[in-house]
Each structure stands twice: as structure tokens, then as C-alpha cells.
Amino acid sequence: MQRTLIIFKPDTVQRRLVGQILQRFESKGLRIAALKLLQVDRPLGEKHYAEHQGKPFFEGLIDFITGGPVVVGVLEGNEAITVVRSMLGATNGAAAAPGTVRGDFSISKQNNLIHGSDSPESALREIALWFRPEEVVDYTIDG
């Protein structure tokens, strides 16, 4: 069992695609351990994307992620990190394979709808950045 952080970025909320994309993850067998909608401020956006500081797209990326509300969640399941990343497809929507979230709904490098943690270390860091411990719920359901 593994947990991963997902962010439905402002483009997903604005395009009203949150439910459709969340359904893909649930249908795959992942389950929701945490979920909330919030407006991101610049310090939180800069912390989340700290590894990209200094890159040419960094300021635009912070403008984008703070440009409207996001829905952020924790998904859990077997190999959740890799499963989510493969369901998202390539970072650049224009290059992402059909059948992936970005391949089906995005044609942009920046406005690529969903962020998913890229490693167990990132998942731990990102979940702690976005959620208080009591907001991530431990529970059991069938399957």
C-alpha cells in the first residue's frame, strides 16, 4: 500500500474536469485518503515547486498554480505513485499518449491538469506540505 499526492490544477477546476478525472483513479482501484479544495498562495506554490526554482518557466508556473482554486488529494493503493504517473501520461500534454489524462484532455506543457508525486520521497514531502496529519484518514473498506 502506497500513498501519493495529486493536485487537480486550476485548469482542471476551471474546465470542470475534476469529477471525470477522479473517477478514472477510483475506477482503477485507488482510493481517496484525503481531498480538499483551496486557493494556493505564492509561498505554498513556491514550496511545492521548489525543485523548479530558477527554471525559465518557474514564475509562470507559480502564476498558474495560484491563478484559481485547486483540488488536492491523497490517493492510496498498490504502487499508487507509479500507477498515477502512468495514468497522467507525459508532462507535455501535446506529447502524452491517448488514453492518459493529459493525452486525452491537455495540449499544453504547463496547463497539464494534474500533478502526481514522482517518488516515495516526494510523496512524503508533498503530503506533509499540503495536509495536516489528521486530514489524511486511515480506514478500511472491502477490497
Interface of this chain with ligand CMP, residues 100 to 119, rule: CB under 6 A: 109-110, 112, 115
Angle (CA) 132 134 135, round 5°: 70
CA atoms within 13 A on the CB side of 143: 8
Cβ at position 142, least distance to ligand CMP in Å: 32
57 part of the interface to ligand CMP, by CB under 6 A = yes
CA atoms within 13 A on the CB side of 88: 25
Interface of this chain with ligand CMP, residues 25 to 54, rule: CB under 6 A: 52
| Contact residue for ligand CMP among 17, 21, 61, 87 (CB under 6 A) | 61
Q: Which residues bind ligand CMP (CB under 6 A)?
A: 52, 57, 61, 91, 109-110, 112, 115
